Amino acid sequence: MQELCFGMVSQEVILLQKALQRQNYYLGEIDGKFLNLTYEALKRFQKEHYLVVDGLVKESTWKVLEPYIEEIKDDNKKVIQTDQEYSIKQLKKDVQKLKYRYPFLQIEAIGFSVLQNPIYGIQLGWGKKEVFYTASIHANEWITSLMLMKWLEEMCESYVQEKLLDGYDVHAILKETTIYLVPMCNPDGVDVVTGNIAKNSKAYEMVQKIAKEYPEIPFPMGWKANIEGIDLNLQFPAGWKQAKKIKFEQGIISPAPRDFVGNSSLCAVEAQALYHFTRLHDFRLILAYHTQGKEIYWQFQNYAPKEAFEIGKCFEKVSGYTLSDVPYASSFAGYKDWFLQEYQRPGYTIEAGIGKSPLPLSQFDEIYKDNLGILLLGTSL
Helices marked H in the chain — which ranges?
11-22, 36-48, 59-73, 88-101, 143-161, 170-176, 187-193, 202-212, 240-249, 269-279, 306-319, 335-343, 364-378
> What is the rounded distance in angstroms from the CA atom of residue 381 to the CA atom of residue 377?
7
Cβ partners under 8 Å of residue 341, min gap 6: 238, 300, 301, 303
Residue type for position 262: G
The CATH H-level superfamily of 11-73 is PGBD-like superfamily/PGBD (1.10.101.10)
Pairing of strands 118-125, 177-182: antiparallel
Determine the average pLDDT of the residues in 191-208: 97
On the CB side of 127, CA atoms within 13 Å amount to: 21
Say if residue 74's pLDDT is above 80.
no
pLDDT of residue 68: 86
Say if residue 34's pLDDT is above 90.
yes
Please confirm whether the linkage preceding 358 is cis (ω < 30° from 0): yes
pLDDT of residue 1: 82
Residue type for position 289: Y
> What is the rounded distance in angstroms from the CA atom of residue 212 to the CA atom of residue 51?
54
Please confirm whether the linkage preceding 2 is cis (ω < 30° from 0): no
Using DSSP's 3-state secondary structure scheme, residue 254 falls into: coil
pLDDT of residue 287: 98
Confirm if 226 and 114 have CB atoms less than 8 A apart: yes
Determine the average pLDDT of the residues in 306-328: 96
> What is the rounded distance in angstroms from the CA atom of residue 144 to the CA atom of residue 97?
20
pLDDT of residue 330: 81
pLDDT of residue 73: 74
Closest CA to 18 of 72, 76, 93: 72
> What is the rounded distance in angstroms from the CA atom of residue 47 to the CA atom of residue 28?
19
Catalytic residue among 29, 59, 351, 366: 351
pLDDT of residue 228: 98
Percent of the chain's residues with pLDDT above 70: 99
Percent of the chain's residues with pLDDT above 90: 91
| Residue 351 bears catalytic tag | yes
Indicate the average pLDDT of the chain: 96
> What is the rounded distance in angstroms from the CA atom of residue 129 to the CA atom of residue 106?
16
Question: Taking phi first (over 0 means left), then psi (-120 to 50 degrees means alpha), and beta for anything else, what does residue 195 get?
Answer: left
88-189+267-378: what CATH class? Answer: alpha beta
Q: What is the pLDDT of residues 248-289, one digit of tens each?
A: 999 999 999 999 999 999 999 999 999 999 999 999 999 999
Confirm if 204 and 169 have CB atoms less than 8 A apart: no
Outline which parts of the chain fall under CATH 1.10.101.10. Answer: 11-73
